[in-house]
Structure 1
Amino acid sequence: MEFTSGTAKQLNSYNESTYIELANYRYQVFVEKLGWELDTPEGFEKDQFDREDTVYIVSRDEEGAINGCSRLLPTHKPYLLGEVFPQLMNDFPLPCSKDIWEVSRLTTLDTKAAVGSKPDPKITTELAFKTLKVAKEHGAKHVVGVATLMIERLYRRLGLRCHRLGKPQIIDGYALVALSIDLQEQLG
């Protein structure tokens, strides 16, 4: 498995089509497979948090096809938990710091597999830990994110020590929770 990371501009410096491939992969996963109703062009998943300073992690299989991705955002600028899901903090203050980054859009779903298939745990583990390392390289001491309870359990099975930032809540039919990971505790 091969990983690349960087901003959209940096990803495209490796290969001109990397960011387009990433947006297409995200569309296939989040819109086509998971059925999220997102206001995004056909075949291209992008939202207001995909900015010039957004950092992406892309994994590719042996054939060079994208098989996973994640997105990192510093919390001193707009980010998903802060803008879309602040209620998950249960009246606690939202993280807002250059050393707290948010992880979002982390997935390793196989776009060619049948609906309902589960991600490969090996790919998920490698991508999750690579994402944490990239966050740390960018100055993060903690990462935060929104997750379903199923994903929270998966992270714990992967050995990630997640801390809840609030009580789980049902939003759009999903039990969601805000999580935090201390990178010093996790990565040493």
Structure 2
Amino acid sequence: MCSKIEFFLSYYNDLHPGIARELYSLRRKTFLERLEWKVECLGGYEKDKFDNSDTIYLLGMSEGKLLCGARFIDTRYPTMISEVFHEYFEDLVLPIDIPCCEISRLFLDKQRRDDGNLRGVAVSKALFLAMIIYCLKKGYKGMYAIVSRGMYAIFRQANWKVEVLRKGVSEKGEAIYYIFMPANENIIEEIISKDRNNIWLRGMHRQLQGLTLSDIQ
């Protein structure tokens, strides 16, 4: 049974105020407090100029609480890759000849996962499937992102064969990667088939076919 976790898509302008507060609070907890990234925070929230009307959020909920999420921006619009990360890489450019997007602020709150008795459930892989399905429905070939060594390893362990385009060094002196994350049905099958609890993941895959947003045709 594919219960306990549901995924939703929302435009920035349509995000419920309560969910928005929860999202930006969890992002602060993840990116500022745990990872100690150089991020913009005001009060108890992490939010920046890329949280705007061009943004679409993917949100994973469990029993009414936000559990995980990610931020999509079509590469036709300003992104962190085009406007922020160039200082950490040489010749950093996003392609303009294929339909694609940037994904950023990808997180999973492990404390909420464990408190919700979801330890051992492939929550991160379900999030990956949701990301891929979003891209497929939008007609994107995939996603571009800047990730840490640890996040890159998680993608590889999930059997997602992402492509490293550039290597750089963060403000903390740590290795970071500019990657392309392909989105297709073969990738979905490779992620599902490798997981020991693949029956649950297949059920999530079926559930995720209903992931919708008003502009997805």
Q: Shorter-chain TM-score: which interval?
A: 0.7 to 0.9
**Structure 2 residue 168 is the aligned partner of structure 1 residue 169:** yes
Q: Report the CA distance between 1:126 and its aligned residue.
A: 0.7
Segments of 5+ residues of structure 1 without an aligned counterpart are 114-118
More helix, by proportion = 2
1:9 to 4, 8, 13: 13
The equivalent residue for 1:153 is: 153
The verdict on how the C-alpha distance between 1:55 and 1:97 changes in structure 2, with shifts beyond 3 A counting, is: farther
The equivalent residue for 1:181 is: 181
The equivalent residue for 1:143 is: 143
Segments of 5+ residues of structure 2 without an aligned counterpart are 114-118, 190-217
> What is the TM-score normalised by the length of structure 2?
0.73
Mark the structure with the bigger radius of gyration: 2
8 Å contact from structure 1 (residues 29, 111) kept in 2: no
8 Å contact from structure 2 (residues 59, 70) kept in 1: yes
The verdict on how the C-alpha distance between 1:88 and 1:170 changes in structure 2, with shifts beyond 3 A counting, is: closer
| 1:165 counterpart letter in structure 2 | L
The 5 Å alignment of 1:109-148 reads 109-111=109-111, 122-148=122-148
Alignment deviations for residues 65-106 of structure 1 (CA, whole Å, 9 cap, x no partner)? 211111111111111111111256532643235711011111
The equivalent residue for 1:58 is: 59
Of stretches 97-106 and 139-148 in structure 1, the one that deviates more from structure 2 is: 97-106
Give the secondary structure class of the aligned counterpart of 1:17.
helix
Residues in 2 aligned to 1:177 and 1:99: alpha-carbon distance in whole angstroms: 21
8 Å contact from structure 1 (residues 25, 111) kept in 2: no
Q: Report the CA distance between 1:43 and its aligned residue.
A: 1.3
Aligned length: 179
> What is the TM-score normalised by the length of structure 1?
0.83
The equivalent residue for 2:201 is: none
Residues in 2 aligned to 1:20 and 1:96: alpha-carbon distance in whole angstroms: 33
Give the secondary structure class of the aligned counterpart of 2:69.
strand
| 2:73 counterpart letter in structure 1 | L
Residues in 1 aligned to 2:83 and 2:133: alpha-carbon distance in whole angstroms: 25
